Amino acid sequence: MGVSGSMEKRRDDFVDAIETEIQRRMMVQREVQIAINIAKARDNIQIFGSIWLTYATALTFATLSKRPFPPLSVIPLVVGGIMLGNMADMAYGNKVARINKEVAYLLEHERARFVPFPESPLAKFYSKEQRATLYDKATASGDLAPFSVICRSYTPKNESTVVISICKSIDVLSFQPSIVRSWGQLKAMNPLFRPPLLLTVLLVCLQSVVSFSSPAAGTPNILRRAILKVGGGKRWREDVVKRYFDGVQQQDRDQIISCFDPRGTKIRDVCGVSNSERMATPVELGERCMEFLAAHPDTMVKFHYKPTCGRGTSKWVLAHWYEEGTFKGESRGIQPDSSKLEVEGQTRFLVNDDLKITEMVVTRTFSEWENQLQRITSATSTDSSSS
């Protein structure tokens, strides 16, 4: 009995020693891995911290010297600072300790998060209550829209399985707007249907959601409007003004009208008879341009300084233009005299976030036709006042 008890004690001590050695090696391996991660974080700070510091210094000098820089260039400064802060927390802070404490909390209070799939040999160690807490209520990642249309397409289910499709009205698939009920029905609607085609269609749908609408298409979408709000999209504002001048060049009344705010445009003609501000509707502006073009049918619009949007968050677009042609058409009852059209001016256009011209400030010279029209208008106004 004494010998047997001594043998069992020696065996238990031997087993304990082995387990202790295994645990000690696990501890060393864990500490080495954590130390490697901390060392990597410190090394990354040396590399990316130097890049960030150089970038921040350049922006600081640009600000102090009052040199302009794009507003969006501040984004890398902010994002980089946040990322470096996270690295520094790992390298020199208590991030590891916080994570360990959170691990302890999860193991004690949220073991239901660790329930494995039923086929796992570890599943037997978890109770039905733990499985019902989260696992049974969750949805497989492959069944979540919209990408379930892709991943489940490569492993089709039985014909009776309901497949919910997010593609409701896509011409390339040739089916009416309705929910596709099964894989078999989807193939019956279009025999050419294949997963790669569906992938292409999905990408087209996503692209259509985030794509930038053309300025000519009308009101910009949400993403374009957000970019305009923060001072970006200067080229889009310039394109509106270029489209206006192109409408004059092409003598396209509808194109000219489409460039202006439907609620009206505020105009100040500095060199006119009255340089006070006045409001004009898009139709009035279009008609005024067509009257001018009727008098000068061969008008050519050219630029000394092409439409250019101001710096920073400015919404003003400046253009220095000139027009060439001949006064050889009758307009507003004024007879042509075949004189050359040689006018030029500088115009500032205020283009709002809807990409419409809402205000114009014009400094310009006038053609012979315009001078005669102003004299007639002034005389008419004087006669009306006298009456």
* pLDDT tens figures, 92-121: 999 999 999 999 999 999 989 999 998 999
pLDDT of residue 90: 93
Pairing of strands 300-309, 278-280: unpaired
* Alpha carbon of residue 157 to chain centroid: 37
d(CA 44, CA 122): 38
**If you average pLDDT over residues 125-150, what whole number do you get?**
82
pLDDT of residue 46: 93
Both structure tokens of 154: 């490569």
Q: Where are the alpha helices (DSSP H) in the chain?
A: 2-64, 74-92, 95-109, 128-130, 148-151, 183-189, 195-210, 222-229, 234-250, 253-258, 282-295, 368-386
pLDDT of residue 97: 93
pLDDT of residue 304: 94
DSSP assignment of 87-145: HHHHHHSSHHHHHHHHHHHHHHH-GGGG---TTSTTGGGS-HHHIIIIITT---GGGST
CB atoms near residue 16 (< 10 Å): 10
**If you average pLDDT over residues 306-320, what whole number do you get?**
92
pLDDT of residue 277: 85
**If you average pLDDT over residues 267-291, what whole number do you get?**
86
247 in Cβ contact with 256 (< 8 Å): yes
* Percent of the chain residues topping a pLDDT of 90: 50
**If you average pLDDT over residues 375-387, what whole number do you get?**
67
Predicted structure pTM score: 0.49
Would the pLDDT of 382 be above 70? no
pLDDT band at 9 (very low <50, low <70, confident <90, very high): confident
**If you average pLDDT over residues 295-302, what whole number do you get?**
94
pLDDT of residue 15: 86
Select the highest-mean-pLDDT range: 150-154, 192-196, 307-311, 371-375: 307-311
